[in-house]
């Protein structure tokens, strides 16, 4: 498995770890290639001597700029690594800006089959989010390879410099023909596959395989009572839309509580927003360990995902279902593939404060509906999002495809 990081950096990294452990449980020998950003999932990892140096791209100088486009150290190290371990299959995940497309050239040198995992829209949007200035980018002007819109609107971090660098990298990556260098492509959702096809990726190469819940987590019993609060769990970044949720809380009864679990660059702004609105019914819990987060899930009324970007799957939605909790979420990107409006949750137009407030109040004052939706969500997890379902699809769609 090739990914920029081998640490609990974000959702993609935790997904790589989960997927690789499933492969291991099925009797496969697993290897990892990543940058040397620590702490690793496996301390003192045996092959970490091959990991290229991690560099914070936000602090990169002119001399380091080339490594954002093409990391020669990663290519050379991976070639030496592959000579030693001689794997039968390579799966790439997030490689932009750190490992870079250089890793594909190293893999092709050994004629090893390559599966490309696409977990977000970054290969089709230089800004990375398919959103800018708190607005979803419905027009998708850059997906064919021309990123001038990104520069014009400063889509990357609202910065002209960052947007120019991201746009140049976008052009370079698209010219590397990565989709032709891999043997098959996995997308997390149907909507992500459709985006890839619109961007010119050959449809026949793409297989849709959803995320899954680990077998041991399915032993968790759903909890259909609650302690009268709603829960947001995830990164506190602008695109996640938590500022919309806080704005919505001013329209509901002060008896309705909101717990916000997670951390991120937007946290200070969100705390300030809460204080400016004089809202005493919102608690910021910070980063929670697994046990504490489980308790938050078990005791909430429902979870809320108010994002306004291209959510390629939304793992927190099926985690909510796992605990028997419905979901209130934006009707955007892949979310409607998971959350069935009126069945296991409520879908609202993205960035619509009034609709978000109404959905919160609807569930707060209708406990029977909450229980019904929670049961439906749990049933969906057990039928569609298990490790066995994932492995069956991978075996059928990928392993048989490569034979």
pLDDT in tens, 360-372: 999 999 999 999 9
| Helical (H) or strand (E) element with 345 | strand 345-348
- Quick one: the chain helix, strand, coil %, rounded to 5? 45, 10, 40
| Predicted pLDDT at 9 | 72
Answer for the pair 147, 167: CB distance below 8 angstroms, yes or no: yes
| Predicted pLDDT at 56 | 85
Pick the CATH number of 11-214+387-402 from 3.40.50.2000, 3.90.1720.10, 3.40.50.300, 1.10.3660.10: 3.40.50.2000
| Predicted pLDDT at 238 | 94
Q: Please give the angle made by the CA atoms of 216, 338 and 223, to the nearest 5 degrees.
A: 50
**Which among 205, 272, 207, 261 is positioned nearest to 236, based on CA atoms?**
261
Euclidean distance between CA atoms 353 and 244, whole angstroms: 6
| Helical (H) or strand (E) element with 190 | helix 190-198
DSSP state at residue 386: B
**Which among 235, 240, 238, 258 is positioned nearest to 248, based on CA atoms?**
258
Q: Count CA atoms within 13 Å of residue 18 on its CB side.
A: 20
85 φ, ψ to 5°? -90, -25
- The class that CATH gives domain 215-384 is alpha beta
33 φ, ψ to 5°? -135, 130
Euclidean distance between CA atoms 136 and 244, whole angstroms: 14
Task: Provide the phi-psi class of 233: left if phi over 0, else alpha when psi is between -120 and 50, else beta.
Answer: beta
Euclidean distance between CA atoms 155 and 159, whole angstroms: 7
Answer for the pair 344, 324: CB distance below 8 angstroms, yes or no: no
Q: Is it true that the peptide bond before 39 is cis, omega within 30 degrees of 0?
A: yes
pLDDT in tens, 157-207: 999 999 999 999 999 999 999 999 999 999 999 999 999 999 999 999 999
**Gyration radius from the chain CA atoms:** 21
Q: For the purposes of burial, counting CB atoms within 10 Å of the CB of 289, is it exposed (0-12), middle (13-18) or buried (19 or more)?
A: exposed
pTM: 0.94
Residue recorded with tokens 């594909």? 104
Q: Do the first three CATH levels of 11-214+387-402 and 215-384 match, i.e. the same topology?
A: yes
Euclidean distance between CA atoms 135 and 231, whole angstroms: 24
The CA distances from residue 383 to 40, 121, 213, 293, 379, in Å, are: 33, 27, 11, 24, 6
In the chain, which stretches have pLDDT less than 50?
A: none
Q: How many CB atoms lie within 10 A of CB 139?
A: 9
Q: How many CB atoms lie within 10 A of CB 183?
A: 15
Residue recorded with tokens 């329209």? 251
348 forms bridges with which residues in the sheet?
A: 330
| Predicted pLDDT at 63 | 64
286 φ, ψ to 5°? 70, -170
232 forms bridges with which residues in the sheet?
A: 260
Answer for the pair 173, 143: CB distance below 8 angstroms, yes or no: no
- Token pair recorded at residue 148: 């001038």
**Which among 365, 364, 355 is positioned nearest to 247, based on CA atoms?**
355
Q: Count CA atoms within 13 Å of residue 282 on its CB side.
A: 24
Q: How do the domains of the chain map onto residue ranges?
A: 11-214+387-402, 215-384
């Amino acid at each position: 498995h090739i990914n920029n990081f081998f640490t609990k950096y974000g959702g993609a990294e935790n997904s790589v770890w989960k997927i690789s452990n499933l492969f291991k449980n099925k009797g496969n020998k697993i290897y990892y290639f990543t940058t040397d950003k620590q702490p690793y999932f496996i301390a003192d990892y045996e092959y970490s001597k091959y990991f290229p140096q991690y560099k914070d791209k936000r602090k990169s100088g002119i001399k380091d700029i080339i490594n954002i486009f093409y990391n020669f150290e990663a290519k050379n190290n991976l070639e030496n690594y592959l000579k030693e371990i001689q794997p039968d299959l390579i799966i790439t995940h997030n490689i932009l800006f750190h490992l870079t497309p250089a890793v594909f050239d190293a893999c092709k040198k050994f004629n090893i089959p390559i599966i490309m995992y696409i977990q977000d829209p970054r290969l089709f949007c230089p800004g990375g989010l398919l959103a800018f200035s708190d607005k979803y980018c419905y027009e998708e002007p850059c997906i064919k390879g021309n990123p001038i819109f990104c520069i014009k609107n400063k889509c990357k971090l609202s910065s002209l410099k960052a947007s120019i660098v991201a746009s140049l990298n976008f052009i370079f990556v698209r010219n590397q023909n990565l989709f032709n260098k891999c043997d098959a492509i996995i997308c997390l959702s149907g909507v992500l596959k459709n985006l890839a096809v619109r961007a010119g990726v050959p449809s026949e190469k793409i297989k849709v395989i959803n995320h899954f819940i680990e077998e041991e987590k399915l032993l968790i019993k759903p909890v259909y009572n609650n302690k009268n609060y709603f829960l947001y769990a995830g990164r506190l970044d602008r695109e996640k839309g938590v500022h919309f949720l806080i704005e919505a809380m001013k329209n509901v009864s002060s008896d309705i509580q909101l717990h916000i679990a997670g951390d991120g660059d937007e946290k200070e702004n969100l705390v300030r927003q809460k204080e400016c609105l004089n809202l005493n019914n919102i608690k910021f819990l910070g980063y929670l360990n697994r046990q504490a987060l489980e308790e938050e899930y078990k005791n909430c009324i429902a979870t809320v995902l108010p994002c306004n970007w291209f959510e390629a799957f939304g793992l927190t939605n099926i985690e909510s279902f796992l605990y028997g909790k419905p979901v209130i979420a934006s009707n955007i990107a892949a979310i409607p593939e998971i959350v069935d409006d009126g069945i296991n949750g409520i879908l609202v137009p993205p960035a619509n404060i009034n609709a978000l407030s109404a959905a919160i109040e609807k569930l707060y004052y209708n406990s029977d509906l909450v229980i019904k939706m929670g049961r439906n969500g749990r049933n969906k997890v057990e039928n569609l999002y298990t490790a066995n379902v994932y492995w069956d699809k991978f075996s059928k769609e990928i392993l048989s495809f490569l034979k």
